Chain A
Amino acid sequence: MYAQLVKSEGSKTREEMTPEEIAFQDRIDRNEKIEPKEWMPEGYRKTLIRQIGQHAHSEIVGQLPEGNWITRAPTLERKAILLAKVQDEAGHGLYLYCAAETLGVSRDELLEALHSGKMKYSSIFNYPTLTWADMGAVGWLVDGAAIMNQVPLQRTSYGPYSRAMIRICKEESFHQRQGYDIMMKMCAGTPEQKAMAQDALNRFWYPALMMFGPSDKDSVHSAQSMAWKIKMNTNDELRQKFVDQTVPQAEYLGLTVPDPDLKWNEEKGGYDFSEPDWSEFFAVIAGNGPCNAERLGARVKAWEDGAWFRDGLMAHAAKASERARAARHAAE
């Protein structure tokens, strides 16, 4: 999802656990929320920082492919909607960084880890947005895939993460709809527009499937994260759910999902579909996607170019508080 391949720390059987760890696991099993500063296994804390941090990074890097089209949006209304949506992503990044900060890491430390490449963001944002239809496809498919993961995460065991997800899900409800709305307009438009919509689906279908991460059989970190209720569903469960939900939506648009082997399987009550090319996924994660260098470069530039601004405001705040202190002193 927005958090892929999050390495999970430790995976112990009940017999190997300390009494503290057993009590902790029991609380989670009773659906109690874990709150900041309460005792938690170090592995739980570290895994959460990785996952929430990666999720936050994905939100702010995710601003870029869509931000790309704000200045080229085809109508004033579309411009306003897109801007509001990309602004929401900044807000969601902010909520998530704050949630991570309750675990004893600062936002600046997390950003530094992003900039140095130590922490990752979702592979999906390393694909280019080449046409206006991509704004539709990103909203429909990418936000659709994200929502699939985020809705269950509202029930995650860590209180601040859960509360951030609740707020995010509430605000995000329009994101997928606006994407689909763009697709509907284009599919009902001129032949060129419809071709653009089909092309966007062709390019984003498999990258969207990759968002859920590798197949369960290759996913080494899932079990512990699921026991801790940091991860609520397996990758394959969510991917199947996404395909089942999306195929009829594509049919309604009159678009063809770019998978010749896609077909309804009556027995399992879901679609059979082709796996994405996982070697491409690992190449993108390793930094070799079409836009990795540009995306990270843009974030680093924003951060470095803004240093004087952040420092200037800190310096002023220090001066102002010193002046206020001196004034109080003089008055006494």
Chain B
Amino acid sequence: MSSEWPLWEIFIRGQHGLNHRHVGSLHAPDAEMAIRNARDVYTRRNEGVSIWVVRSNDITASSPSEKGPLYDPSNSKVYRHPTFYDIPDEVGHM
């Protein structure tokens, strides 16, 4: 059996200047075709978006067993969360 097209992870930045966001994956023989396939599969051809593709094998992910040490510290920094602050109603939406 022939070799399978590698798997790519697809990241797309929409029109509104937000960060690239992971939208899914697909198969393609190389990066250039992965971008084109992403355009057809995940944007159905929307113009004006930016696409990143990364070979799935090249992604290094935090390992689930490290879940405690990696994530706990920031969980304690509650001041990073907007709800940490009590804003009086009179001030309005913030």
A-to-B contact residues, CB < 8 Å: 35, 37-39, 91, 94-95, 98, 101, 106-108, 112, 163-164, 167, 307, 310-311, 313-314, 316-317, 320-321
Of B29, B61, B63, the residue contacting A316 (CB under 8 A) is B29
- Report the tally of A-B residue pairs with Cβ distances under 8 A: 44
CB distance from A10 to the nearest CB of B (A): 22
A147 to B: closest C-beta gap in Å: 20
Not counting A164-B24, A314-B29, A316-B29, a sample of 13 additional A-B residue pairs whose C-beta atoms are within 8 angstroms of each other reads A37-B61, A98-B7, A101-B25, A112-B1, A163-B24, A167-B24, A311-B3, A313-B5, A313-B29, A317-B30, A317-B33, A320-B30, A321-B30
Question: Does B2 belong to the interface (CB within 8 Å)?
Answer: yes
Q: Which residues of B contact A112 (CB under 8 A)?
A: 1
Residues of A within 8 A of B61 (CB): 37
Residues in A with CB closer than 8 Å to B1 are 108, 112
For B62, the closest partner residue in chain A by CB is: A37
Within B57-86, the residues touching A (CB, 8 Å) are 61, 63-64
The residue in chain A whose Cβ has the minimal distance to the Cβ of B10 is A98
Task: Specify which chain B residues have a CB less than 8 angstroms from the CB of A314 in the assembled complex.
Answer: 2-3, 5, 29
Q: Is the interface of A mostly helix, strand, loop or mixed?
A: helix
Please tell me which one of the listed residues B2, B24, B25 contacts residue A310 in the complex, with CB atoms under 8 A apart: B2
Is B13 positioned at the interface, with any CB of A under 8 Å from its CB?
Answer: no
User: Known: A94-B26, A98-B26. Contact between A313 and B64, CB under 8 A?
Assistant: no
Residue in A38, A107, A320 whose CB lies within 8 Å of B64: A38
A108 to B2, CA, bound (A): 10
Interface hub of A106, A163, A164, A310 (most chain B Cβ within 10 A): A310
B27 is an interface residue with CB less than 8 A from chain A: yes
B4 within 8 A of A: yes
Contact, CB under 8 Å: A107 / B4:
yes
Which of A91, A307, A310 is within 8 Å of B5, CB to CB? A310
6 shortest A-B CB distances, which residue pairs?
Answer: A317-B30, A317-B29, A313-B29, A38-B64, A98-B25, A108-B4
Residues of A within 8 A of B26 (CB): 94, 98
Interface residues of B in 1-55 (CB under 8 A from A): 1-5, 7, 24-27, 29-30, 33, 41
Q: Is B24 a contact of A98 with CB atoms below 8 Å?
A: yes
